[in-house]
Every structure is written in structure tokens, then in C-alpha cells.
Structure 1
Amino acid sequence: MRLFRGAQDRRHAKQLQEQLELIEAGLQEHLRFASPIADAPARYLMHAGGKRIRPMLTLLTSELGDGPDELVRRAAQAVELTHLASLYHDDVMDDAKLRRGVPAAQTVWSNSVAILAGDLLFARASSLVSGMGEEAILLQARTFERLCLGQLHETVGPQAGEDPIAHYIQVLADKTGALIATAARMGVMFGNGPAEYADPVTEYGERIGVAFQLIDDVIDLSPKKEQTGKRAGTDLRAGVATLPYLLLRQRASEYSADAELLARIDAGVTAIAEGADPALLDPEVEALRAHEVTRETEATATRWAEEAKQALGALPRSSVRRALERMADSIVAREG
């Protein structure tokens, strides 16, 4: 993710990388547990890698004020620990087999161990935030509440009469957007940035979070396993209702070809759940990837990213604002 250009921006990028390395070292320390039974699973997903988008965002928005210091790095670490913790829980809930190209934690240990590892990381994140003031504690608590509500709403599904697509977008906003928004807000808070910048960067963070997940829906259909770390259509085969699938279902009442494709997908998902070879859905995955609903999903992601950039209108023109705008563009430019 190239956020800076030009000689001055390259120096800025170098400084940002140095700060990220300090955050990474701190994360390693915060993930150290005296018990070897806890230590290995708690460190597992961090060692699997990750883009560290949330810490990077906290560092960037801190530069709207005094810039990164120990408190800013601590906030970035708390946000990343919260994110890592949520991944353990998500993978158990979704019965995921892979995460970041490696076996999901519960397939290495067990559901119970994975859940408890996630709980340990939530506890460490809360411990970090506890010394940062009441506002930070409340923000962390409200963010955690939204993470839980997002997972709950995803698990239960839309209620009778509720628009499934609006429900899905709200789930993405809660499960992903909320924490990215918190990452952005904490940078302003602890970098001593102007108070009037807090709400714009919060809105920006939530919108790029939704855009990120919508592009993930497109990437899920990609055949490039070496880049995505999973088989094309992994979510579709598992019965996850991503936006391309929801848009197809919306169209099925009007177009017979779409109704036929939807019926084949649903039948294949049922067969896979009963033990059939996941490869039986290969033609349907390819058809959905080529379908205009996938292009519509990309367009929806781009719209969310553009709205994120518009939210930055209150910020001064600067290398920080340009970097945030490029981050939004980079998120929707990702390819599988």
C-alpha cells in the first residue's frame, strides 16, 4: 500500500515504517504469556502476518496533531490486539479453515482454545486502554459492543421484512468499520489533534472498513489462490451470503437466468454441507465472478471509498490527507 510519493513523502513513509516497527515490537511483548499453553495460540495469528492497516491509520491521523508518541503507539497496539482477538472468534463462528493463508487457529487446537485465545487478546487490549483515560475506555467498550452486535446480527440474519442488503452493509459497518473508525479516532485523540477532526476521520474509517469488506467479497471469487490464500468461492461454498450473492438473489425474481444460477448455487451449497466435493460448485463460482452483480459490488465498494474521502473535507490539504485518500483508493484497488 503505497501512500506517499515524492522525496518529502518518501521521508514521511520511512518515519511511518519506523513507528510501525516499534508497534510491532510492542505487540510481540503484549502477546507474551507466562503459560506456554496460552502463549502459542495467542501469538499464532499475529505470526501469520497481516497488513496492519489499523495501526497505520492511527499513526497517520496522529499527525494531524503532534504526531506519534508512546501513547499513540499504545492506542494503535490496543486496536490491533482487538482486531486479532476478533479474528479468533470469527473463525470459530464461521467454521473457517484458513486465515491469512495458514490453518485457522481452531483447526490447530480446538474451538475452545481458539475462543479463549481471543479472550486473552481482548483482555490485553482492555488492559492497555485502561490507563489511557475514561474517553478511551468508553470508546473501546462501545467498539467492542459493535463488534459483538455485528457478529450477532450476521449469525441471526435479517428479520422478517428487513432488507437483506441493508442488513448486510450494517453488519460490515459493525464488524469491520467500527474498529477501523476507532483506530482513526484514537490517532486524533492521543496525537492531540484538533477536536473538530475526530468525527471526520471516524466517518472516514468506518466507510473504508465497509469498502474493504465489499472488495473482499469480490476477491473471494478470485481464482488466484496464491494471492488470496484460499480457494475461489470459499465463502460462497460455505453458504456465506456475500453482496454478489445477495444482489443475484434480488435479481432472481425478474430474470430467469439469474433464478437458475441462484438455484444451482443453493443446491450446491446444500450438497457441500452434506459432504459433497466443494469442486462441484466451480462452474457456479466462475459464473458469479463473471456476472454483473460482481461488477456492481465493486462499484458499491468504490462509492463507499469515495464517500470516505469526501468525509476528509474538514482536514487541511497536507501529506497526511493525501495519504488517507490514497489508502482509500488502495483498498478498492486490491485484486485477488
Structure 2
Amino acid sequence: MTRAATPLAGAATGQFDVRALVGSFEPALTAQIRTTLAEVEAELRRRISDTPDPWLNEAAGHLIRAGGKRLRPLLVTLAAHTGRPDQRKVVCAAVAAELVHVATLYHDDVMDSATIRHGVPSANSLWGNRLAVLIGNHLLGIAASTGLEISTDFVRRQGLTLTRLVRGQATEGASPRRGESPAEQYLRVASDKSAALFAFAAWAGAVCGETGERTAAGLAGFGEALGVAFQISDDLLDIVADTADFGKTRGIDLQQGVRTLPILRALAAGDSHADRLAEILSAGAVSDPGLRQEALRLLRSSPALEQTYDDLRRHAAEAERSLADVPDGPARDALLSVCNFVVRRTY
């Protein structure tokens, strides 16, 4: 029997505060996770500073020093604690997963022409697109060499994950497949672009905890479904979150012309809201603040918003079901708490 997830103060703000989340776990597990995450942070900084080129060390550590949720290292660590964690391997796996994630941020910012990331100037705005891409590639190289300290199978799985990440990025914005709705295409892309690394992190932790293949498969499935749920929750927060609490301006997806799941659901609703929303979005990016606010009002009042909440709850429930073969205990309870928070942060 698992215990209920501990309520988190501020969950409704949408902020994903890993420290607060870890503090809600069983006390002994909280202490272990905090110790591991501190080691991961130190090891991240050591590995990205381990070249004879000071400029490359500075650039490679730019986003890591800026901070981040460190959600993927958390998943690695929790998954490992469902078995018998090997601390050295857990730290290596968490570092490798986070380095892959950070590398994709360098690449994403180039493709999106982003100027800010984690509250600091993006690498491409500081050093140009060419060097930003090379820095991302450099981090992928460090991630691969780190993974080799665990096993060649780990690096093989890491490579397959990278293939999925690239496929998701490459197919985003493409036309849906024959017989596929735009919403179905969106979920397929989110599975590759967003969920693949969550699945890898959970699987990697299972390997470092020597959980066995069945449990590892269940944890990978948990990460996959959680990753899609996390992306949907971000989409919803861009529409419903209170700007003062969330710390970000709402409607960024509209401003950038990104058709997220709630937007696609609302456009397909076939009502007056959908007609006006389609008119506003006809030019792509919604740069006019007044039109953007109108689009947000239409989205919040559309019945499609509840449909998107159903999508979120469905993927969260799928993540929970994937833990069926994971032994009861504090780590499994903590994974359920993560899943619950991904849903509750949108309310």
C-alpha cells in the first residue's frame, strides 16, 4: 500500500521547485536524494570544466551555471532507489541525462532564435549560432563519455534516445500523417521530443539500481508517460497560470506561433470560439498584445480546455499504471508524488 502524496505549498503556481518536491518525500529518502543531487551538481560542473580551453569551459557551463529544474537527474535518482543504487553509477547516469538535456537547449535556442534561457542570455545571442551548435555537440560528447563509465548498453540506449529527440524536433511543424489529426500528431511529436529523455532517465536509474528488466521497463514507461504529461502541463500553464505566481508571461506560445495541444483542441472544437481563434491565428505568430489577450480569453473559455486537462490526466494515469511492477516503498511513493505534482501544478 503506498502512502498519499504530500501536498506541496505553491503547487498551483505552476513552478516546478525540485527542492520543495524532494522535501515532501519520506525523510530518509529526502536526505539521500539531496546528497545525490548535490553530488550530481558538483560533477556536472567538474566535467564541463575539464578541457584545456578556458573559453570552451565557460561556454559549456553557461546554462548549467544558470540553473534549471534538474528534473531528469531526480528521475534517475528516484528510479535507482527502487532497487539497490550504486552511488557512483547513479551520479554518472544523472550527469549524462542532464548533459543531453542541456545540449538540446543550446540547439533549440538556435532553431528558435531565442535570446533568453533560464534568465540569462542564450548562447546563440552571446556567441552566434555556429558556436552555440558546437557547444551543444561538445556537451553530447561529454555525455557519451560519461555514459561509457556505466556500460556500452547505456551508451547504446543514450544514442537511441538522441535519435528520438532529433526525430521529434525534425517532424515538429510537419503535416500530420494520413488519417492523423493535428492533435494526434502533436502527441506523437511530444513523445519523441519531450518524453524520450524522461524515459531514458527513468530507465537509466533502474539500471544503476539493478532493478531487473521488468521493473526497468515499467520505470521507462513511467518516464515516457510522465514526459508527455509534463509537456501538456506546460502548454496549459501558458494559458491558465497567473503571471505573477508563475514568473512568466502567459501567451508565449501564441506569440511565437506555436500550436500547442490546447490550441489545437480549441481550433477543432467547431464553435464560435474556434472561428474567432482561427481568425486571430491566421497570420501565425500573434504579436499584437490585445489580440493575444483575446486569444487567451477564448482559450480559457473554450470547452476544449477541459479536453486538454483530460489528456493530461490520462497520461498521468498511464504513468502511474506503469509503476505496477515497481516494488512498494518510499521511492515508488516519491515517483507518484512527482506525477501528481505535474497534474496539480496546472490548477
Q: Give the alignment's TM-score, normalised by structure 2.
A: 0.87
The aligned amino acid for 2:67 is G
Greater Cα shift, 281-290 or 183-192: 281-290
Q: 1:41 to 1:292 in 2, by over 3 A?
A: farther
Of 106, 115, 126 in structure 2, the residue corresponding to residue 108 of structure 1 is 126
Measure the CA separation in 1 of the matches of 2:275 and 2:245: 31
Partner of 1:81: 99
Q: 1:103 to 1:292 in 2, by over 3 A?
A: farther
Task: Deviation per CA, 1:243-299: give whole Å up to 9, x if none.
Answer: 111112212xx32332122212334x4563xxxx45542222233234332332222
The answer to whether the 8 Å contact 2:225/2:318 transfers is yes
Q: Does 1:312 align with 2:323?
A: yes
The aligned amino acid for 1:19 is T
Structure 1 residue 105: deviation in Å?
Answer: 2.5
Structure 1 residue 320: deviation in Å?
Answer: 1.2
Q: Does 1:140 align with 2:158?
A: yes
Measure the CA separation in 1 of the matches of 2:90 and 2:109: 29
The aligned amino acid for 2:41 is E
Measure the CA separation in 2 of the matches of 1:79 and 1:270: 33
Partner of 1:329: 340
The answer to whether the 8 Å contact 2:273/2:298 transfers is no
Structure 1 residue 147: deviation in Å?
Answer: 0.5
Measure the CA separation in 2 of the matches of 1:116 and 1:331: 33
Unaligned 5+ runs, structure 2: 1-19
Q: 1:250 to 1:225 in 2, by over 3 A?
A: same
Partner of 2:37: 20
How many positions carry a matched residue from both structures? 327
Q: Does 1:246 align with 2:264?
A: yes
Aligned to 1:203, the other structure's residue is in SS state helix
Q: Give the alignment's TM-score, normalised by structure 1.
A: 0.90
Partner of 1:43: 61
Of 279, 283, 293 in structure 2, the residue corresponding to residue 263 of structure 1 is 279
Partner of 1:158: 176
Structure 1 residue 160: deviation in Å?
Answer: 5.2
Greater Cα shift, 78-87 or 97-106: 97-106
Unaligned 5+ runs, structure 1: none
Computed over aligned residues only, the root mean square deviation of the Cα atoms, in angstroms, reads 2.1
Measure the CA separation in 2 of the matches of 1:187 and 1:73: 10
Q: 1:186 to 1:205 in 2, by over 3 A?
A: same
Greater Cα shift, 117-126 or 218-227: 218-227
Task: Deviation per CA, 1:278-329: give whole Å up to 9, x if none.
Answer: 5542222233234332332222112111110111011222111111111100
Of 2, 25, 28 in structure 2, the residue corresponding to residue 11 of structure 1 is 28
Measure the CA separation in 2 of the matches of 1:68 and 1:201: 17
Structure 1 residue 228: deviation in Å?
Answer: 4.3
Greater Cα shift, 36-45 or 13-22: 36-45
Pairwise mapping of residues 202-217 of structure 1 onto structure 2 (< 5 A)? 202-217=220-235
Structure 1 residue 85: deviation in Å?
Answer: 0.4
Measure the CA separation in 2 of the matches of 1:334 and 1:30: 33
Pairwise mapping of residues 162-241 of structure 1 onto structure 2 (< 5 A)? 162-222=180-240, 224-241=242-259
The answer to whether the 8 Å contact 2:67/2:118 transfers is yes
Q: 1:68 to 1:329 in 2, by over 3 A?
A: farther
Measure the CA separation in 2 of the matches of 1:124 and 1:285: 42
Partner of 2:4: none
The answer to whether the 8 Å contact 1:86/1:118 transfers is yes
Structure 1 residue 230: deviation in Å?
Answer: 3.5
The answer to whether the 8 Å contact 2:286/2:292 transfers is no
Aligned to 1:240, the other structure's residue is in SS state coil
Considering Cα pairs closer than 8 Å and 6+ residues apart, tell me whether 1 or 2 has the greater RCO: 2
Structure 1 residue 175: deviation in Å?
Answer: 1.1
Measure the CA separation in 1 of the matches of 2:183 and 2:189: 10
Partner of 2:21: 2
Q: Does 1:149 align with 2:179?
A: no
Measure the CA separation in 2 of the matches of 1:176 and 1:247: 19
Measure the CA separation in 2 of the matches of 1:80 and 1:212: 17
Partner of 2:8: none
